[in-house]
Structure 1
Amino acid sequence: MPAQTQEAPYSPTRIMLIVFSLAMGGFGIGTGEFAIMGLMPGVAQDLGVTEPQVGHLISAYALGVVVGAPLLAIGGARLYRRHLLIGLMVFYAIGNIASALAPGYGSLLVFRFIAGLPHGAYFGVAALVAASLVPVNRRAKVVSLVMMGLTLALLIGNPLATVLGQSLDWRYAFGFVGAIAALTGVMIVLFLPLNRNEIRQSPFSEIRAFNRPEIWYPLAIGSIGFAGMFCVFSYMAPTLLEVTGVSPFWIPIALAVFGLGGFAGNILGGWLFDKLQFRSIGWMLLWSISMLLLFPYATETIWTMLLICFLVALMVGLGPALQTHLMDVADGAQTLAAASHHAAFNIANALGPWLGGMAISAGLGWQSTGYVGAAMAVAGFAIFLLALRQQSGAAIQQGPVDEPANATQDC
């Protein structure tokens, strides 16, 4: 569903406030998603479980995103986007406050799943709202500003939540995320006007347009090829403590370095896609395979560990590349595709910690997450090759169709 342009454009100040509000929501969601990765040792000790079991909490949240993204995008299709965004932020605030108050591991597992439900739908709707605020030639830039909130969560929010959890208690980190979500809801109420001229389409038309291989291939690449980064990232804190042998003081520093790599990767991924289009995804997957294979050898000292954290985090560049490619091919299903893009990446967020936890539990060591992650990136590259073949075949098939028309014009 293409973004609609406002009939009466807002002032630059109002647009800035709306975009800032939407980005604040992205910052809160990104912090809520990644916070537990830096708090893993504390959560495990407090709840009396192992680190791989805490990894299941990450997977539970990610599965919530996978389930909630398409369901809430479809279910909320007939709502005004302002109302839907407010509802999603209230939902997210409740899920994280409930996580902060969870009495035990089982209830926390349920609450993390619930907290993940509004994640993908929020980003999908927020991107469409941002795109509707400006002329067509400025849409990509303003959408990237909204998504910058997610990147800044890696750079600032996650280390901040880790410090908060280490200084006080891990539960305060989720309370902090709940407060950000509630603040975002208030800001949307204050700054985003209700557009009663907004076109609301039937969700069934998007479902019909969604079922195409051009859409499913990039979603599969994100679901599997990106799992390698989450496999390493999820167990970074215990790897630092058990393998590198540093104090907990270094955990937020390593997370900040990882966030810096993600920030750089977000920019580089968009730039590379502009240069190479879909083929850029293949090059980024090859980079990912190389860095993940190097990871086990870089865990012995803190300085090589910090360097590999930055280099592995450049995998984040797959995000804007796959998102832009989906925007190009998802004509007629943009709302569902935008939400499903985040669902795909959270399948990766569920798959990575689960497979990494299996390897660790089997006694292969914390460094084994690098090898498991590399295998996932290899699988993603194989899917990319299939997609490239399908794309080339479609282009060849299109060629003969155009020839008769050209011949007629020549005559």
Structure 2
Amino acid sequence: MPLALLALAIGAFGIGTTEFVIMGLLPQVAGGLGVSVPTAGLLVTGYALGVMIGAPIMTILGTRISRKNMLMLLMGLFIVGNIISAAAPVFAVMLIGRIVASLAHGAFFGIGSVVAAGLVAPDRRAGAISLMFTGLTVANVVGVPLGTFVGQSAGWRVTFLIVAGLGVAGLAGVAKLVPDLPAPEGVRLRREAAAFMNPQVLLAMAMTVLGFGGVFAAITYIAPMMTEVSGYADSSVTWLMVLFGLGMVAGNLIGGRFADRRLMAMLYTALGGLAVVLALFTVGAQNKAAAAVAVFLIGALGFATVPPLQKRVLDFAHDAPTLASAANIGAFNLGNALAAWLGGVVITAGYGYTAPNAVGAVLAAAALVLAFVSQRLEHRSARSLQPATEPVSTPAAEAARP
């Protein structure tokens, strides 16, 4: 694999760390800025909203800039946002810093996916995308626990300064290793937006929202679920999140490997398995061992969907992939926000801390239904393009055949 993928993975590592580390530092940030923990939680919400809004806007603004230079500018924005967060004297400034950093998130992964896919042969694109996203998954195994430890020991401001340093490393890597790819010719907003008229692009994004929503319905409330239902000590939550991160790494790599061979089969397996695990987790969370296994599998099965869904968006938006790819990253965050809200609704309604798992199972099952619909539409479209006397055999159909 090209070394440029390493630079993209480093940038992804920094972005993943800053996105998730705040969850482990909310009490420290709240105390340092003189606000309540629920108010500090707006730093998570603000980041997610910034990703959703910033992904298409930053991608559109970058259509006339070479992809390498745009990636460098995005890493610069990420660095500035984290420095603002580290130096914030009041909560409002901290929130601004989080939003500034989030504006780089979606466009970096969207443009980075296009760059990663373009660095390798067509039959290795999903694997290349998964290697870039490995930086995001490894962040949850290494970056987030270490960042939480540093924040609790030396202060949360130090954590964000270190994250800014990761951004500097990512910027240097992109500058040194990513080839100087020119701006895509003939890119127009109308042409980029036209990708959203393709039902397959919309279906892939809907699967992203629902499938990843299934993951975060459970993981958002993993701390009270593990301590109140499974009986783990508060101190055990950290290593359980590491276990979740290890699942993310494994699932992402497996998803990338098999999506290049049997993309739709990989989606069926991951989404179906995720729905089953979440359903079983709803009734089996009381068992410590079963709960730990479920946490790992949720991470693995959830992130096994990332490379195939991102590749599917690129395949069907091949004439204008950049905006669609970035928007799909926003769809991940939309799924996060939707699932967290739905999970809170069922808990507030009195159904207990395991109820979000049932919500996640329903979301994952709905994504699986959409996967079947998507492939059926693709086969129908392929048949309509072939003479009645000829068998259907197109590259798209073959790639999608389970």
TM-score, normalised via structure 2 length: 0.85
Aligned AA (2:62): G
User: 1:229 maps to which residue?
Assistant: 215
Question: Cα–Cα, structure 1 residues 297 and 54, in superposed 2: closer, same or farther, change >3 Å?
Answer: farther
State the Cα distance separating 1:173 from its structure 2 match: 3.1
Please say if 1:376 is aligned against 2:363. yes
- Of stretches 339-348 and 246-255 in structure 1, the one that deviates more from structure 2 is 246-255
State the Cα distance separating 1:250 from its structure 2 match: 1.8
C-alpha distance in 1 between matches for 2:344 and 2:95: 16
From 288, 312, 315, the counterpart of 1:328: 315
State the Cα distance separating 1:114 from its structure 2 match: 3.2
- Of stretches 130-139 and 287-296 in structure 1, the one that deviates more from structure 2 is 130-139
Aligned AA (1:368): A
State the Cα distance separating 1:172 from its structure 2 match: 3.4
Contact 1:30 1:153 (C-alpha < 8 Å) held by counterparts: yes
C-alpha distance in 1 between matches for 2:126 and 2:365: 30
State the Cα distance separating 1:28 from its structure 2 match: 0.5
Question: Cα–Cα, structure 1 residues 199 and 313, in superposed 2: closer, same or farther, change >3 Å?
Answer: closer
From 397, 406, 410, the counterpart of 2:384: 397
Please say if 1:257 is aligned against 2:243. yes
1:52-94 CA-to-partner distances (Å, cap 9, x unmatched) read x655533322221111111111110101222211110111122
From 329, 343, 348, the counterpart of 1:342: 329
State the Cα distance separating 1:44 from its structure 2 match: 6.0
Q: Structure 2, unaligned stretches of length 5 or more? A: 392-402
State the Cα distance separating 1:203 from its structure 2 match: 2.8
C-alpha distance in 2 between matches for 1:259 and 1:387: 29
Question: Cα–Cα, structure 1 residues 71 and 297, in superposed 2: closer, same or farther, change >3 Å?
Answer: same
Please say if 1:366 is aligned against 2:338. no
Aligned AA (2:148): T
Contact 2:230 2:285 (C-alpha < 8 Å) held by counterparts: yes
Please say if 1:33 is aligned against 2:22. no
Please say if 1:266 is aligned against 2:284. no
Q: Structure 1, unaligned stretches of length 5 or more? A: 1-11, 407-411
C-alpha distance in 2 between matches for 1:54 and 1:361: 20
C-alpha distance in 2 between matches for 1:385 and 1:193: 38
- Of stretches 366-375 and 22-31 in structure 1, the one that deviates more from structure 2 is 366-375
Contact 1:37 1:235 (C-alpha < 8 Å) held by counterparts: no
State the Cα distance separating 1:50 from its structure 2 match: 4.9
Please say if 1:63 is aligned against 2:49. yes
- How do residues 156-175 of structure 1 correspond to structure 2 at under 5 angstroms? 156-175=142-161
Aligned AA (1:382): V
State the Cα distance separating 1:351 from its structure 2 match: 1.4
1:198-225 CA-to-partner distances (Å, cap 9, x unmatched) read 5443233222244211111000110122
Give the alignment's Cα RMSD to 1 decimal.
2.9
Contact 2:8 2:112 (C-alpha < 8 Å) held by counterparts: yes
Contact 1:80 1:198 (C-alpha < 8 Å) held by counterparts: yes
Aligned AA (1:360): I
1:95-119 CA-to-partner distances (Å, cap 9, x unmatched) read 2233334455555445433322211
C-alpha distance in 2 between matches for 1:43 and 1:369: 27
- Of stretches 167-176 and 39-48 in structure 1, the one that deviates more from structure 2 is 39-48
Contact 1:73 1:339 (C-alpha < 8 Å) held by counterparts: yes
- Of stretches 125-134 and 264-273 in structure 1, the one that deviates more from structure 2 is 125-134
1:144-201 CA-to-partner distances (Å, cap 9, x unmatched) read 3322211211222222222223333344333322221122223333444645x55443
C-alpha distance in 2 between matches for 1:242 and 1:308: 16
State the Cα distance separating 1:318 from its structure 2 match: 0.8
Contact 1:44 1:50 (C-alpha < 8 Å) held by counterparts: yes
Q: Say which SS state the counterpart of residue 385 (structure 2) adopts.
A: helix
Contact 1:58 1:349 (C-alpha < 8 Å) held by counterparts: no
- Aligned residues with identical type, % of pairs: 36
Aligned AA (1:336): L
1:350-384 CA-to-partner distances (Å, cap 9, x unmatched) read 21222223333444333222122222223323333
Aligned AA (1:403): A
TM-score, normalised via structure 1 length: 0.83
Please say if 1:146 is aligned against 2:128. no
Please say if 1:94 is aligned against 2:80. yes
Question: Cα–Cα, structure 1 residues 277 and 146, in superposed 2: closer, same or farther, change >3 Å?
Answer: closer
Aligned AA (1:370): N
User: 1:124 maps to which residue?
Assistant: 110
Contact 2:131 2:253 (C-alpha < 8 Å) held by counterparts: no
Contact 2:129 2:307 (C-alpha < 8 Å) held by counterparts: no
C-alpha distance in 1 between matches for 2:145 and 2:341: 23
Aligned AA (2:317): A
Aligned AA (1:203): R
State the Cα distance separating 1:120 from its structure 2 match: 1.4
- How do residues 194-205 of structure 1 correspond to structure 2 at under 5 angstroms? 194-195=180-181, 199-204=184-189, 205=191
C-alpha distance in 2 between matches for 1:114 and 1:358: 29
User: 1:355 maps to which residue?
Assistant: 342
C-alpha distance in 1 between matches for 2:207 and 2:41: 22
Please say if 1:293 is aligned against 2:276. no
- Of stretches 214-223 and 299-308 in structure 1, the one that deviates more from structure 2 is 299-308
C-alpha distance in 1 between matches for 2:343 and 2:89: 27
Contact 2:78 2:101 (C-alpha < 8 Å) held by counterparts: yes
C-alpha distance in 2 between matches for 1:36 and 1:182: 20
User: 1:9 maps to which residue?
Assistant: none
Contact 1:56 1:354 (C-alpha < 8 Å) held by counterparts: no
- How do residues 173-184 of structure 1 correspond to structure 2 at under 5 angstroms? 173-184=159-170
User: 1:79 maps to which residue?
Assistant: 65
User: 1:284 maps to which residue?
Assistant: 270
State the Cα distance separating 1:27 from its structure 2 match: 0.6
State the Cα distance separating 1:257 from its structure 2 match: 0.6
User: 1:4 maps to which residue?
Assistant: none
